[in-house]
Amino acid sequence: MGAHVPGRETEDLAAAARETLVREIDASGAWAADPVWREAFLAVPRHLFVPYYYIGSVGGYARCWGESADPVARERWLIGAYADSPLATRLRDGELLSSSSQPSLMARMLTELRVRDGDRVLEIGTGTGYNAALLAHRLRDDSLVTTVDLEPEITDAARGHLAAAGHHPTVVTGDGFRGVPEHAPYDRIIATCALSTVPRAWLTQCRPGGRILTPLATGLIALTVTDADHAEGRFLDTPAYFVPLRGAAPPEREPQLGGVPRRGREHDLYRFLIALTRSGPGPQEAYALWEQEGRPERERYGITLAGDQAWAWLDDPEGPYVWPLPG
């Protein structure tokens, strides 16, 4: 599943493309808090994890393939593999099943995961295997990384990609909503797929003091686990849009947005608020609250999990603005 044209020329082009990508991530400030990730992105060859990917077009998707007979197309594939953009990697009947996330967002998430030497990490959503390879490189021990995905064809391909890159973490085919209890406990859990709630199984599989980072409501929530029944944390300031988790409890359908705003950053924040408070105020009431409270950014919102209850909040988990979340 590797590139059609091996050899020094291809490797040199890939290395140069990686260096360009790393400079772009440098400029974004994504790993300012933990620059050790810079070396991981320089070392792990993303193109080995995306032997083909799809580019959206007016008529649907066009495939870029590393084994194309056209040398120009192969070079375009290789350069595209190192673009700071998400890559659609698996489709079914026109529906996106799996993708390789935007590298600068991956760098931000890995930095915010606050991994330490010796940590055991569970990744929910194996995808291409690229993120698992970055974790394995950072931890310098493949046995510390477990990654799970629902589709056998995804996990089988990821194992091949990882082996080609010289890594052999534990790759499990299963429902990420249930975690991977047989390899618990974990110090860190990271999800690369969208959810509507944080599964309680993840808390039971995470050590006290551990950290969970997951997409939720078009944002990224970072939770500190107190014990198997309690966790709390705030959202990061960045938006995040991921392929939904498929399994026992997929995300609810996103509600239609009514009223204003309709575009730009305000629309993005409004969309986040509606997704987060879907069990609370309606769209117009939510927008009025957002205006009243000074148009709060994502990082002013948080989530608390306590027993069988979960709620989102603005500024204070015991403050006046709290909304129930799905159990």
Dihedral sign from CA coordinates of 5, 9, 13, 19: positive
Question: Which residue is it, tokens 């990821």?
Answer: 158
Question: Alpha carbon of 127 to those of 18, 64, 134, 261, 308: distances in Å?
Answer: 20, 18, 13, 34, 30
* Residues pairing with 314 in the sheet: 301
Backbone angles phi, psi at 194, to 5 degrees: -80, 140
| DSSP one-letter string for 100-128 | EPPHHHHHHHHHHHT--TT--EEEE--TT
- CB-side neighbour CA atoms (13 Å) of 310: 21
196 is catalytic: no
Residues 6+ apart with CB under 8 A from 316: none
* H helical segments located in 97-199: 103-113, 130-139, 152-164
Q: Return the structure tokens found at 25.
A: 């991530």
Which is catalytic among the residues 98, 101, 104, 196?
Answer: 98
Count CA atoms closer than 13 A to 325's CA, side-chain side.
Answer: 26
Separation between Cα atoms, residue 260 and residue 290, nearest integer Å? 12
Alpha helices in 30-100 (DSSP H): 36-43, 71-81
CA gap 185, 182 in Å, rounded:
9
- Angle between helix axes 130-139 and 36-43 (nearest 10 degrees) is 130
Positions marked catalytic: 98
